[in-house]
Amino acid sequence: MNELLIIVLAYLIGSIPTSVWVSRYFFNIDIREYGSGNAGATNTYRVLGPKWGTVVMIVDMLKGIVAVKLAFLLGDYGSQERLTNIQMGLGLAAVIGHIFPIWADFRGGKGVATLFGLVVGISPWTALGCSGVFLAVLYLTRFVSLSSMLASVAFPVFILVIFNVDNPVYRVFAIAVALMVILTHQKNIGRLLKGAESKVPIFKYRDRRRQRRRNSSR
């Protein structure tokens, strides 16, 4: 199959506006008009609840994984390094589709879940390490934005330092991913610095126990 055709297909897969379709068909609203106005899993979690937030997150991740696997439609892709480079291009096309979806007036999300799916499809162990960073930060802070940014920064650390991947394109790509995630979270960074960033309503029982302990110690 022609490489250009596969790239277009990856973009179209990434363009599937999961949160927009879920909010419209099940709640008769446009998720982009509520909460942070972002068409992503985090805003869906806040506005529609954890059930639909999880559904959106999983589907958005699958978009990245499926896009990466399209590389195998080429048949003889040559070396492993060339395969990885093709997969990165396809995954990036899906991420661009998520951020600028043709099916939703080019107003999408930040692409973090789809980007994570890309990493899962190419480097499962790296994805596992980044997941650990994300969950640890989320547990400590309950800020999804901060968790996403630090996990993205961990990505090039795993690629360049821990696993020492020798593919130069992949190394540059890892650094570019971290920068892209930080750039797409500029508003979140501003809210974090002002103390105005919203926390996701998880670990609330843990927080209640801590509050009760503080009150009992006074």
State the pLDDT at residue 40: 92
Q: Write out pLDDT tens, residues 136-163.
A: 999 999 899 999 999 999 999 999 999 9
Report if pTM > 0.75: yes
Average pLDDT of the segment spanning 62-79: 89
Indicate the burial class of 114 (C-beta count within 10 angstroms; 0-12, 13-18, 19 or more).
buried
Q: Write out pLDDT tens, residues 89-138.
A: 999 999 999 999 999 999 999 999 999 999 999 999 999 999 999 999 99
User: Percent of the chain, pLDDT > 90?
Assistant: 77
State the pLDDT at residue 207: 58
What's the distance, CA 127 to chain centroid? 11
3-state DSSP call for residue 95? helix
Closest among 82, 179, 163 to 126, alpha carbons compared: 163
Mean predicted lDDT score pLDDT of the chain: 90
